[in-house]
Amino acid sequence: MAKKILIIGFVWPEPKSSAAGSRMMQLIHLFQSQQYHITFASPCAKSDNAFDLKTIGVNQVSIELNEPSFDVIIQKLNPTIVLFDRFMMEEQFGWRVAEHCPNAIRILDTEDLHCLRKGRQQAFKEEQTFDKTYLFNETAKREIASIYRCDLSLIISEVEMRILQNDFKVDQVLLHYLPFMLDEVSSETVNSSPKFEERNHFITIGNFLHEPNYNAVLYLKNTIWPLIKKQLPKAELHVYGAYASQKVNQLHNAKEGFLVKGFAKDVNEVMQTAKVCLAPIQFGAGLKGKLIDAMVNGTPSVTTTIGAEGMYGELEINGFIENNPQGFANRAVELHTNITLWDTKQLNGFAVINKRFNRTIFIQSFIKTIENLKENLKAHRLNNFKGSMLQHHTLQSTKFMSRWIEEKNKK
């Protein structure tokens, strides 16, 4: 029997625009390496930045919310696995999958914990210390319920694994740590990576539809960059990112050396020309793609505690962690001017990629977990009574709300 997986995407993958897009492509390649026939479906409109999955042999299907046409699609496909891209897709389509393909393994790829990101953002906005009051928000109730309804949830950060187990009391058997999965950085790549004297200026990058990225750029513009510029009058900061709005472009100021460059067609190219990556993330969750890109391309970074979360483990980092604006600026200047320090931090970054994000470390463990689920799915679900209970109530509420919308749309 052919192994088939249906991926229900919140958006169509955009690996050049976001870390989430890169993550999705990594998952697709992982399942392809295990000879799965992949169908990717999404209710979202495609942008010009969307990757054409047909070029790598993935079937693409457009689906609609609250439409019984999805039932026909999934019955015909009869997948072995259904992967939901973020909990919102499980909310919309999970009950249909459970009803029409009850034996399909249901996996949730959280990308990052949305409730954690939203809670931190709210605490930041209110200038309060983040605690459980902010963590246990309305999004958390939806997201944790989704995790329980699925057979397995993929968690990108060790910190988020601990939060789910310690704060939300989610059983570890429902969770699987699966961070970014990258190729090993070879010694040839290390030796050929552009050196200190071949690079210039500072860089920051990130999808501007993601609020933590816009906030970080604003923080750079108003607070940190003037402190750096005071010490390095000729320095420039090159700001890259997809979906730069007017409020982002208005930050461009050539006189101040604050240059909004917009979408980067090749993140590796722009990262390798930069000397230092700046990522003063004030709130957020998950792993920061910009810091991964910096390490892969041998670019030392300065970030915050939030930015570094889940990234380095016990290893030496590829730069510095600084939460104080003046300290952040000083560290950035130090990296930009000290070749010995810069060389050391560059090598640290390569080591982090190879020891913490090497794809070969994670693939076999994940596939073994999937195979165990296939063999023991009934027992696995019997041991997850909370999930069964939530699935029951979802079928009663979400299902009939969707049916009501279907009928309403016919009129």
- pLDDT digit string, tens, across residues 94-124: 999 999 999 999 999 999 999 999 999 999 9
State how far the alpha carbon of 28 is from the alpha carbons of 7, 34, 35, 38, 89, in Å. 9, 10, 11, 8, 17
| Cα angle for residues 246, 255, 270 (degrees, 5° grid) | 65
Please give the average per-residue pLDDT across 371-391, as a whole number. 92
The pLDDT, as a whole number, for residue 388 is 87
- pLDDT digit string, tens, across residues 285-326: 999 999 999 999 999 999 999 999 999 999 999 999 999 999
Write down the mean pLDDT value for the chain.
94
- pLDDT digit string, tens, across residues 206-215: 999 899 999 9
Q: Which domains does the chain have, with CATH numbers?
A: 4-181+359-410 (3.40.50.2000), 187-356 (3.40.50.2000)
E strand spans, 252-381:
258-262, 276-279, 301-303, 319-321
Contact call for residues 280 and 304 (beta carbons, < 8 A) = yes
3-state secondary structure of 87: helix
- pLDDT digit string, tens, across residues 29-57: 999 999 999 999 999 999 989 999 999 99
Could you give the percent of the chain with pLDDT greater than 70? 95
Task: Tell me 153's DSSP state.
Answer: E
